[in-house]
Amino acid sequence: MTRIFSNGPGSFVIAPFEKLIAGTSQLFLAAPYFTMAAPLLQAVKKGKTIQLLVGLNAATSPEALRQVHEVPGLAVRYLTSRFHAKIYIFGETALLGSSNLTDGGLYSNREAVICLDRPEDTDAIEEIRALFVELWDAGQVLTKEKLESFAKAHAAARKRAGDPDRDIEDAIGRAEPPNINVKSHEKSKERVFLEGLRQLVYEQYRPAFNEVTAILAEHNYRRPELSSVGIANETNRFLNYVRLSHVFGDEAWQTAPLRSPADRRSLISNLGEEWATADDSKVPEDYATWLVTVRQTFGTKDAINGATKEQITAALMSLHAFLEQLRFVKGGAKNLPAEFWNRNNDDLARVKSGLAHLLHGPDDFIKRLHDILYDPSRKLALFGRFCALELFGTVFPDICPPMNGRMAKALRYLGFDVKGA
């Protein structure tokens, strides 16, 4: 059987690539140059999960990246420098060689690619897998903002003389794998937290939430009482309904199977139709009022600075994730506000400063999320990850969905590979 593929007569690289995709459920792909989105999108539609590591450079297509960006089941990270490996792992088999994920690499350039699929290849495949993990860990999450910055830099670099790859890296920042220098392997705690949060929001929660939103909108599974709250908050209420009506106990979501896109679509459509016609939609009567309170109090930095302690309290109590903190407070919801202020030393100015930084600060959203959760100078007691995500998502749903623990567990129940708690 042929092991070497070179895009010569009868040995096109695309042949084993597509065959191996069909025979596995997980793909681990690393390619400095990326222009071919179609095979990956087809794989995801069939329920495959993909980790894709690409190079952001003049040879990578911004349009191809847009096609695979935030597709559930397809996580994308990037490097900019010192990344030249082409690694394609399909379960217990791998392709290794010179081919990039481009038309030339898969079809027309004369390449040299070996298929490692024999028993004696096991050790080599494990070494390749370890190398992929090292590169993947060094990669940065491809956020929407970073993708748009890359697209602008890519277009500009092609119009002028010079080194386009250097111009692109200067515009988006350097991201490179570690070298043999031991110090280059060290990661700060802040960087670990930041990348972990980016992965959680941009590789898990946002793609899953957006997929549910698209299915509900496509079928017009809407609730008339929610006509004023916006589609993101309607999705929030649908997921709330799923959690309360179908996900009984932690075992229900913890043991739920991961589902293919087709199976997720079927389940979400059925539950969406049920929710749209249910007598009890699980939407509190004052939900729309809660949202108005949150947006009026936290919608601008000036609004936060001008808010009273009572207004800050009322707006926080309008968040489900904040109310969930009552499990840490004796006496339940009625004692939660007093305990929140007590644990934060009744420091209104500090609370305002922390919340204003989270919502309207100068840095990247993920950096501000990290600050409110881990920076001792900004961290607030009784204000955890889901409090921050739900608050930010309620004010800025286009950047981050209004997520809380109930939403996460519902998404996991629906078959998405997300962290449920």
Domain co-membership, 338 together with 412: yes
pLDDT digits (tens, 9 = 90+) for 203-231: 889 999 999 999 999 999 999 999 999 99
Kindly give the pairing relationship between strand 74-79 and strand 140-141.
antiparallel
Give the strand order in the sheet containing 74-79: 4-5, 113-116, 93-97, 87-90, 26-31, 49-55, 74-79, 140-141
Domain co-membership, 205 together with 161: no
- pLDDT value at position 10? 80
Domain co-membership, 176 together with 220: no
pLDDT digits (tens, 9 = 90+) for 87-125: 999 988 999 999 999 999 999 999 999 999 998 998 899
Residue 285 sits at φ, ψ, to 5 deg, of: -60, -30
Domain co-membership, 120 together with 242: no
Q: Is 28 helix (H, G, I), strand (E, B) or coil?
A: strand
Average pLDDT (379-392) is 94
- pLDDT value at position 226? 94
Q: Would the CA dihedral through 295, 301, 302, 306 be positive or negative?
A: positive
Answer for the pair 286, 226: CB distance below 8 angstroms, yes or no. Answer: no
**Percentage of the chain exceeding pLDDT 90:** 74
Domain co-membership, 29 together with 170: yes
- pLDDT value at position 358? 96
Domain count of the chain?
A: 2
Q: How far apart are CA 6 and CA 108, in angstroms?
A: 9
With cut-offs at 50, 70 and 90, classify the pLDDT of residue 184. very low
Q: How far apart are CA 113 and CA 102, in angstroms?
A: 14
Match 């087709």 to its residue by tokens.
262
Domain co-membership, 152 together with 196: no
- Domain edge (last residue) among 150, 182, 214: 182
- Domain edge (last residue) among 138, 167, 182: 182
With cut-offs at 50, 70 and 90, classify the pLDDT of residue 326. confident
- pLDDT value at position 374? 86
Domain co-membership, 150 together with 252: no
Please give the model's pTM, rounded to 2 decimal places: 0.77
Domain co-membership, 128 together with 194: no
With cut-offs at 50, 70 and 90, classify the pLDDT of residue 291. very high
What is the b/e burial string over 274-313, where b = at least 16 CB atoms within 10 angstroms of the residue's CB?
bbbeeeebebeeebbebbbbbeebbbeeebbeebeeebbb
- pLDDT value at position 198? 85
With cut-offs at 50, 70 and 90, classify the pLDDT of residue 1. low
- pLDDT value at position 130? 87
Average pLDDT, the chain: 91
Residue 381 sits at φ, ψ, to 5 deg, of: -70, 150
> What count of other Cβ atoms lies within 10 Å of the Cβ of residue 48?
20
Q: What is the CATH number of the domain that holds 51?
A: 3.30.870.10
Domain co-membership, 162 together with 298: no
Domain containing 44: what range? 4-182
Nearest Cα to Cα of residue 416 among 305, 261, 272: 261
Domain co-membership, 82 together with 213: no
- Domain edge (last residue) among 182, 210, 227: 182
The burial class, CB within 10 Å (0-12 / 13-18 / 19+), for 15 is middle
Q: How far apart are CA 400 and CA 215, in angstroms?
A: 18
Average pLDDT (322-327) is 85
Domain co-membership, 389 together with 271: yes
Among 107-116, 172-181, 231-240, 389-398, the range scoring the smallest mean pLDDT is 172-181
Among 182-196, 247-261, 321-335, the range scoring the smallest mean pLDDT is 182-196
Domain co-membership, 177 together with 191: no
Average pLDDT (335-348) is 94
